[in-house]
Every structure is written in C-alpha cells, then in structure tokens.
Amino acid sequence: MQIPIGMVFALALALALNRQIRGIRFLRTIYYMPAVTSIVVVSLMWQLLYNKELGIFNYVLSFVGMGPYGWLQSTTMAMPSIMGMEVWLGLGARMLLFLAGLQSISNDYYEAAAVDGANGWHKLWNITLPLLAPTTFFVFVTAVIGSFQVFGPIYVLTQGGPAGATDVAVHRIYFEAWQNLRFGYASAETVILFACLFILTAIQFRYFGKRVSYG
C-alpha cells in the first residue's frame, strides 16, 4: 500500500505545484528537501514524532480520546509507521519526476480540450494521466525496487524489531554479515534479492511497459 499511496500524494502535489505563481519555486524546494536530507536525521526526527510520551501524533490523538500508542514498539503498528515515514520521505523525489512529466505535456492539448468544453476533471483523465503514463511507469518501477532496499529507517528506529516485525531483506543481510559474521550467507541473500528484483522488474516491463506509449 505504501507505493500507490505515495504515488497518489506525489502526483497530487505535482499537480498543485505545476503553476506559475509567485513563490512556487520556493515551495517546490521545500517539498523536495526530504529527498536530500540525511536519512539518519530524518529517522531521528520521526522517532520524536512517534514518541509515546512526547510525540506529536499521540498529542493530537489525545484531543479525541485516543492513545497514547507505541508506534514503534507494537508488532502491528511498527511496519505501518515505517511505511508512513517512507511515503513522506519519497514524496519530494516522486513529486519532482511527476512535475517534469507534467511540464513536458504541450499546452496545445489543454487549449483544444477547452475549446471542446472539457472541464478540469476531463482534462486530467483524458489528457494528463494518459500522457503522464511513461513517468508514472518509471516512478512505479523505481518505487518497487526502492521498497525492497529500505534499510536506514529500520536500522535507526527499530533494529528489525519488535519481535522481527520490521526485519526487512536488507536489514537481515546486514545483520547476518556484521552481527553474526556469516558473510557467505549474507552474500547468498544479496544474490537472491537481486534475482527477485530483476525478475519482478522484468515482469513489470512485460505486462505494464508495453501498455505505455512514449510517442
């Protein structure tokens, strides 16, 4: 769920920022900042946000009689919490890709649609989204690959816990290599991960890539 949610938010943000108004470059820079910020710094910031006693999420929920929740201490909430952080973390980079795709669409299409009486939703569904398909496909493929390579937030926030709830592939490889000193085992896991990503990417190109028009 992390990937489609992140893509929808990024596309919505790109649509909102695809305008020529005063201060728009500043806003684009602000939204892109997480993509160039140290993953350790970002993870520590989110650790504070998720803090059971002092975190802002529990503080807001307390106004409606909910919480406090141990976001990173619960086996059922730890992974969704990491995924929420990953959505925010990837928002800026995906927004920039969608924005580049939007700006590559000729304004002539929209002018012709306006002459035919098309409203904003018609333009979005019949012009923007179809012509944005190559960008959407690229964002989707890279997001899937990236989701299998998450390590920094897991290492900083949960160390694979609680009870292995966030022990993802790359963290497991790191743990086997540098904690258990089983370098051969970790190398084998790395090869398997590469093979899985290669096959998954090939399937995506096979079944989705041919539906994308680059003309």
Kindly list the structural domains of the chain, giving each domain's residue range(s) and its CATH number in brackets, ordered by start.
Answer: 2-211 (1.10.3720.10)
Is residue 102 within 8 Å of 44, Cβ to Cβ? no
pLDDT at 10: 97
Per-residue pLDDT of the chain (215 residues; tens, 9 = 90+): 789 999 999 999 999 999 888 889 999 999 999 889 999 999 999 999 999 999 999 999 999 999 899 999 999 999 999 999 999 999 999 999 999 999 999 999 999 999 988 898 999 999 999 999 999 999 999 999 999 999 999 999 999 999 999 999 999 999 999 999 999 999 999 999 999 999 999 999 998 877 777 65
18-34: pLDDT as tens digits: 988 888 999 999 999 98
Is residue 34 within 8 Å of 87, Cβ to Cβ? no
Is residue 24 within 8 Å of 99, Cβ to Cβ? no
Which residues, 6+ apart, have CB-to-CB distance to 100 below 8 Å? 135
Is residue 76 within 8 Å of 163, Cβ to Cβ? no
DSSP state of 105: S
Radius of gyration from C-alpha coordinates of the chain: 21
Q: Distance between CA atoms of 101 and 119, rounded to whole angstroms?
A: 21
pLDDT at 215: 58
DSSP state of 136: H
Mean pLDDT of the chain: 93
Q: Distance between CA atoms of 156 and 102, rounded to whole angstroms?
A: 36
Q: Which CA distances in Å does 98 have to 18, 20, 186?
A: 10, 16, 36
pLDDT at 214: 64
Amino acid at 95: M
Is residue 92 within 8 Å of 83, Cβ to Cβ? no
